[in-house]
Structure 1
Amino acid sequence: MNSPAPKPLTERPVILSCGDPSGIGPELAVRAWEHFGARLPFVWIGDPAHLPRGSKIREIDRASDALRHADAGLPVMAHPFPAAATPGAPDPANAKAVIDVIAKGVDLVMRGEGSALATAPINKKALKDGAGFAFPGHTEFLAHLAGVERVVMMLASSRSDPPLRVVPATIHIALRDVPEAFTPQLLCDTVRITAEGLRRDFGFETPRIAVAGLNPHAGEGGAMGAEETDWIADTVAGLRAEGYALAGPLPADTLFHARARAGYDAAICAYHDQALIPIKTLDFDGGVNVTLGLPFVRTSPDHGTAYDIAGQGRANPASLIAALEMAARMGAARGA
């Protein structure tokens, strides 16, 4: 007797935007479908001609159709692009279509036709050169489309034990600009958005959050920098008085080993590399980029377009697979 098919991880499909068609996004979408099949229905939006030759696909008109077709092929909502995709060589002619696909994906999840949005990697410079893209990256563009003033970028491991979730309070700015940009208001906003996201999307009733110091050894009492004693400690204490389960400011150099990770659900870091170096070291292939603070779930693989290996069949699909699965579980947690 055949056992019944496993219940899909989502009752509504995850929407996957194609990203830069000259990168590894298209081949990874096919690999992810081969991994999940009908267990996690997702819809790829893009030009079918950009997928690897011979890919099993099913073109659909409505996102919900993915639930019926995901067992037979990658469900595709066709969005024609003006130019072919040459692996490793982004074409400026395709820039606007890449942007339009992202907007289409947002529209679908905002209308409830998808449970979550996952986004394949883009190249910001290629979009700026080809279509005047005015945003630092995906995250800021998604916030703009959703009408949200401030969002938080969280990187989450899928395979480390204990897991690691890190939030850089400042993101794509020069290191010399961090002390001015990292303010009490920014830290408060980041803690509040992170805590709400951990409650709503990850099921933590009282999220435990660690706050890293800005300076070496968290300033060591002012000997190596004054921000911790001037305002970070007081800001953390004020938030703790509001009911947040916070620890810090803590030295970043002892915050990410296994015993330390077991003591918190997410760590807020002062700047980009303070957060991303540990997660890429612990789970380089399985990290997931999550945007907290949006009115919908959004995840992305934690890697770029990888032009150097695009079209060669060498790209590792682990991060996209993890991003799709995390998106489906987060969407389910929201009741999407």
Structure 2
Amino acid sequence: MSRRILLTCGEPAGIGPELAPLALASGVDFVWIGDPRHLPDGTAFDLVSAPTDPVPAGRLPVLAHDFAAPATPGRPDPANAAGVIEVIARAVDLLMRGEAAGMTTLPINKQALKEGAGFAFPGHTEYLADLAGGAPVAMMLASTTVTPPCRVVPATIHIPLTQVPAALSDQALEQAIRITHAALIRDFGLPVPRIAVAGLNPHAGEGGTMGREEVDRIRPLLDRLRAEGLDIAGPLPADTMFHAPARSRYDAAICAYHDQALIPIKTLDFAGGVNVTLGLPFIRTSPDHGTAFDIAGTGRADPASTIAALRMARQMADQRR
């Protein structure tokens, strides 16, 4: 049996437990790590002692991880915060030891983890980077149902908008570009990646009349990278980068800040978008949505993004192999 994808349980009071059995429809061979008590009643599952243990078709393979308390949909319990964190760390350990092919993480709630276990990271991405020894990483959101595909990488992530101009340093932008370039080759099978870089200001600064970041900082950096042989377009006005003809001209777009990147992909492919952490020594994807406490336990959870994330993890693992 080939190595499986690991599906971490995420916040047990959210929709994660409902998504796990629904994700069997992906056709991807995966194993769920979590507390079986948190799965919906009637879930057909088998406990496994290792990620590669066989399980009959149609049954959810479960690598059990005991939590402190049961789960009530929509009401996160601080007692379970440590278990959520431990499951992520356990999955990374299995990956680093070569016992699995990649991981797909179900959504966590950062506030619940902070209040219940003192979680010190802004989110999954930063925690995974820390577990990987401080590897420089980038967050990519990738579509799975639109053509041409939409792949976006914000060079700055979870910071106030007022802090973006200072945080968008030459180092931060160059790191995002280089990590994305390497990942497109290694994980997406694109030997000569084409990268588009959005400007920070409206109309990419319009020659300096709407801000000088593009003229003074971004363009000189891109010129230097182009001189190295990277195929880079920009800085480009972000408002004309994401219609279909524009997307056909690049493989990934580097954006200046969070919403500049996430608004277009969530508009184009809300249900099929996948979050991919680039730069890690292992593969990590996740659905592009949160814990959805408001619908947890109601049977209305949509597994489309989780299924897309599992399939992308499998494709990336096969590409690396």
Range into which the TM-score falls when normalised by the shorter chain: over 0.9
Offset at residue 11 of structure 1 (A): 2.0
On the 8 A contact 1:210/1:248 being kept in 2, the answer is yes
Q: Which amino acid aligns with 1:17?
A: T
1:249 aligns with 2:240: no
Q: Which amino acid aligns with 2:23?
A: A
The root-mean-square deviation of aligned C-alpha atoms, in Å, is 0.9
Q: What is the DSSP-based 3-state SS (H/G/I as helix, E as strand, rest coil) of the residue aligned with 2:235?
A: strand
On the 8 A contact 1:58/1:72 being kept in 2, the answer is no
Within the candidate set 37, 45, 57, 1:57 is matched to 45
Within the candidate set 57, 62, 77, 1:91 is matched to 77
Q: Where do residues 78-227 of structure 1 align in structure 2 (5 Å cutoff)?
A: 78-227=64-213
Q: Where do residues 9-20 of structure 1 align in structure 2 (5 Å cutoff)?
A: 11-20=2-11
1:104-146 Cα shifts (integer Å, max 9, x gaps)? 0111111111100110000001000000000000000000001
Q: Which amino acid aligns with 1:27?
A: E
Q: Equivalents in 2 of 1:84, 1:320: separation in Å?
A: 23
1:185-227 Cα shifts (integer Å, max 9, x gaps)? 1111111100000000000001000000000000000111110
Runs of 4+ in 1 over 2 A off after TM superposition: none
The residue aligned with 1:6 is none
Q: Equivalents in 1 of 2:142, 2:2: separation in Å?
A: 24
Q: Equivalents in 2 of 1:303, 1:257: separation in Å?
A: 23
What fraction of aligned residue pairs are identical, expressed as a percent? 65
Q: Which amino acid aligns with 2:262?
A: L
Offset at residue 70 of structure 1 (A): 5.0
Offset at residue 149 of structure 1 (A): 3.6
Q: Equivalents in 1 of 2:2, 2:63: separation in Å?
A: 18
The residue aligned with 2:28 is 40
Q: What is the DSSP-based 3-state SS (H/G/I as helix, E as strand, rest coil) of the residue aligned with 2:156?
A: coil
The residue aligned with 1:269 is 255
Q: Equivalents in 1 of 2:38, 2:236: separation in Å?
A: 47
Offset at residue 161 of structure 1 (A): 1.0
The residue aligned with 1:30 is 21
After TM superposition, the score normalised by the length of structure 1 is 0.94
Q: Which amino acid aligns with 2:271?
A: D
Q: Which amino acid aligns with 2:2?
A: E
Q: What is the DSSP-based 3-state SS (H/G/I as helix, E as strand, rest coil) of the residue aligned with 2:139?
A: strand
On the 8 A contact 2:104/2:313 being kept in 1, the answer is yes
Q: Equivalents in 2 of 1:70, 1:156: separation in Å?
A: 32
Is there any run of 5+ residues in structure 1 with no aligned partner, and where? 1-9
Offset at residue 92 of structure 1 (A): 0.2
Q: Equivalents in 1 of 2:229, 2:95: separation in Å?
A: 32
Q: Equivalents in 1 of 2:90, 2:273: separation in Å?
A: 25
Q: What is the DSSP-based 3-state SS (H/G/I as helix, E as strand, rest coil) of the residue aligned with 1:210?
A: strand
Q: Which amino acid aligns with 2:21?
A: V
On the 8 A contact 2:196/2:236 being kept in 1, the answer is yes
After TM superposition, the score normalised by the length of structure 2 is 0.99
**Residue 27 to residue 177, structure 1, CA distance change in 2 (3 Å):** same
On the 8 A contact 2:135/2:279 being kept in 1, the answer is no
1:243-271 Cα shifts (integer Å, max 9, x gaps)? 11100000000000000000000000000
Q: Equivalents in 1 of 2:64, 2:11: separation in Å?
A: 15
On the 8 A contact 1:172/1:272 being kept in 2, the answer is yes
Q: Equivalents in 1 of 2:291, 2:276: separation in Å?
A: 17
